[in-house]
Structure 1
Amino acid sequence: MTHDAPPPFTDPDLDPAFVFEFEAYDDLDEGQRWSTWLSVEPLCRGPQPRPDWVVTSQAAVDTDLGILKTGKEADAFLLERAVPGSDAVGDSVVLVAKRYRSTEHRTFHRAATYTEGRSVKRSRDERALKRKSTWGKIVAAGEWAVSEWDALKRCWELGLPVPYPVQIDGTEILMEWITYDGETAPRLAQTRPEPALLASYFDQLRDALALMVQHGIVHGDLSAYNILAAGDRLVIIDLPQVVDLVGNPAGMDFLLRDCTNVCTWFQTRGLDVDPGELFGELIAHAF
């Protein structure tokens, strides 16, 4: 005697258009989580218009793919956000997850100079920061993450060459993965461009710095190590320490240092550029 599988549930009064098959994904593997896109506040999501590759499906799963770069204050990981079983365009993307440390957080070099003029909303948090207590370290990690998030959003909306900021959740920022030929784009410091491309890189960087100072902001820690070379275009990264050109007493000093750092690298590659000249040109854009 054979036992046939029971027929699927049918209801003669139910419109077939409302019947669909589904597969449950209750158990996720280690290193996976449900997408956090809908669990964060709307203001914690990237600016409009969003690129079409941003995955917003509630069915998406986040999968850690491994570490990309370690740093003193944060580590960068590759993370895939994808809808299981879907091959549709817009249902899968690889992102960079930058995660700031909390209790292990080590403050930025001369952090007080960068944060001049910034405020912490809660007095308890401000006291904890000054005491450098355990809670203060947690607050510091959050403040630096928020600072970079705000800087990424502002720069993206100004049309600057920065990764698109996808979302922020606590001390984790998800952002666009900048690639070249399917691999992580190299840092400018790792490249040896031909003279024509080298000159183009400098022009791009000068234009980006001019746009920043026109809007009163300075990167504050710019060098060939936090600029990516994605083929023939440059992308500026690592923005938590962005300062106000006028509001920060050291704003001009930071701008001059940025000019010196980048010009020194271009000089070592054979391009005749002068940091003082670049600084003067940028100041003319600022006022």
Structure 2
Amino acid sequence: MSHLDRSFPEDFFRPDDRLPTEGIDDSFVFTYDAYADELGDGQRWSRWEDLEALMRGPEPRPDWVVTSSGAIDTELGDLKTGKEADVFLVERSDPHDSEGGVVMAAKRYRDTDHRTFHRAASYTEGRSMKRSRDNRALKRKSTWGRQVAAGEWAISEWNALRRCWELGLPVPYPVQIDETEIMMEWITFDGETAPRVSQVRPEPRVVQGYFDQLRDALGTLVQAGLVHGDLSPYNTLAAGERLVIIDLPQMVDLVGNPRGMDFLLRDCANMCGWFRSRGLDVDEQELFGDLMAHAF
């Protein structure tokens, strides 16, 4: 019989309505989503997958954190301009997940040409650089030293945010750090950026609640051997009845830094002054003493 006369079983040819994956174990089947080759103005691919573990936020992560490798970051505009860094709003979303996007705050420390170095050296006492060359460059204030310093403040704030979040303190969740940019939770109230404490005049009940939250937060910090170092009504946010602490790059060691106690007392004085202006009878010396009694 020639090959032209050969007959085949009836099920040799797959019917048109049969799926290519039919009969295959689901664990061996992969699906792929196609993404655009080009991005629009003010857009970039998320670098989440490119970052090392310590450059990502601590676990367990909030459900709103977008970790998709196909996510896109879209610039939404500036939020705040500062002396060392500027803060922008950035939306991260996956084009294939229309309901899973999130708006975050991106804090970007300025480069060596535009950054103003006003931080006192007293903040960095007790800190050590990994390489002696970096230490020498910092002392000489060379171009490389300024670059190291710019990176140092970003890394310092990142580490402080991670530590504070793990301690359960009221700080924005740190999402990621990439060079001198930190992406973190955008603190809002009623859909808008939460105002600074210095801008609000809450009712007495809320003021008392703020003070209780502040005292608890400072107590947790000192028990961990830490001091904010630059705490004031200008770097605390009023998210409704919740107090949130921000701007942490200068956080110091309470004991390791020679001025740790002074910084703590100043933090107490700055905050107690605002509470007194809102009608609450508080004293920074009393608060400081109470904190020190539980510090060790």
Question: Do they superpose with TM above 0.5?
Answer: yes
| Offset at residue 24 of structure 1 (A) | 3.1
Deviations along 1:187-245, one digit per CA (max 9) or x if unpaired, are 00000010111111111101100110011000000000000000011000000000000
- Alignment correspondent of 1:4: none
- Alignment correspondent of 2:84: 73
Alignment of 1:150-161 (within 5 A): 150-161=159-170
Mean CA deviation greater in 193-202 or 23-32: 23-32
- Alignment correspondent of 2:209: 200
Report the secondary structure of 1:80's partner residue.
Answer: strand
| Offset at residue 87 of structure 1 (A) | 2.3
- Structure label with greater radius of gyration: 2
For 2:217 and 2:30, how far apart are their aligned partners in 1? 53
Q: For residue 106 of structure 1, what is the amino acid of its counterpart?
A: T
Deviations along 1:75-123, one digit per CA (max 9) or x if unpaired, are 00000000014224xx31100000001212222331x100001011112
- Alignment correspondent of 1:244: 253
Alignment of 1:44-55 (within 5 A): 44-55=55-66
**Aligned CA distance change for structure 1 residues 125 and 23 (closer, same or farther; 3 Å):** same
TM-score w.r.t. length of structure 2: 0.89
Report the secondary structure of 2:171's partner residue.
Answer: coil
Match of 2:68 among 57, 76, 89: 57
For 2:261 and 2:91, how far apart are their aligned partners in 1? 40
For 2:197 and 2:61, how far apart are their aligned partners in 1? 27
For 2:204 and 2:98, how far apart are their aligned partners in 1? 42
8 Å CA contact retained: 2:35, 2:70: no
- Alignment correspondent of 1:43: 54
- Alignment correspondent of 2:140: 131
For 1:285 and 1:50, how far apart are their aligned partners in 2? 30
Sequence identity, in percent?
68
| Offset at residue 19 of structure 1 (A) | 7.8
| Offset at residue 167 of structure 1 (A) | 0.5
| Offset at residue 13 of structure 1 (A) | 9.0
- Alignment correspondent of 1:105: 115
Deviations along 1:52-77, one digit per CA (max 9) or x if unpaired, are 00000001000111100000000000
- Alignment correspondent of 1:28: 39
For 2:78 and 2:182, how far apart are their aligned partners in 1? 14
8 Å CA contact retained: 2:87, 2:107: yes
Q: For residue 31 of structure 1, what is the amino acid of its counterpart?
A: G
Deviations along 1:106-152, one digit per CA (max 9) or x if unpaired, are 22331x10000101111222121111112111111100000000000
Q: For residue 50 of structure 2, what is the amino acid of its counterpart?
A: S
For 1:98 and 1:19, how far apart are their aligned partners in 2? 37
Report the secondary structure of 2:219's partner residue.
Answer: helix
Match of 2:223 among 214, 227, 231: 214
For 2:194 and 2:152, how far apart are their aligned partners in 1? 28
| Offset at residue 21 of structure 1 (A) | 7.2
| Offset at residue 253 of structure 1 (A) | 0.2
Match of 1:118 among 116, 127, 133: 127
Q: For residue 102 of structure 1, what is the amino acid of its counterpart?
A: D
8 Å CA contact retained: 1:148, 1:239: yes
- Alignment correspondent of 1:163: 172
Report the secondary structure of 1:108's partner residue.
Answer: coil
Q: Which runs of 5+ in 2 are unaligned?
A: 1-15
Report the secondary structure of 1:75's partner residue.
Answer: strand
Alignment coverage as a number of residue pairs = 275
- Alignment correspondent of 1:180: 189
8 Å CA contact retained: 1:105, 1:138: no
**Does residue 15 of the first structure (1) align with residue 25 of the second (2)?**
no
- Alignment correspondent of 1:270: 279
Report the secondary structure of 1:87's partner residue.
Answer: strand
Alignment root-mean-square deviation, CA = 1.7
Deviations along 1:28-48, one digit per CA (max 9) or x if unpaired, are 112111001111111100001
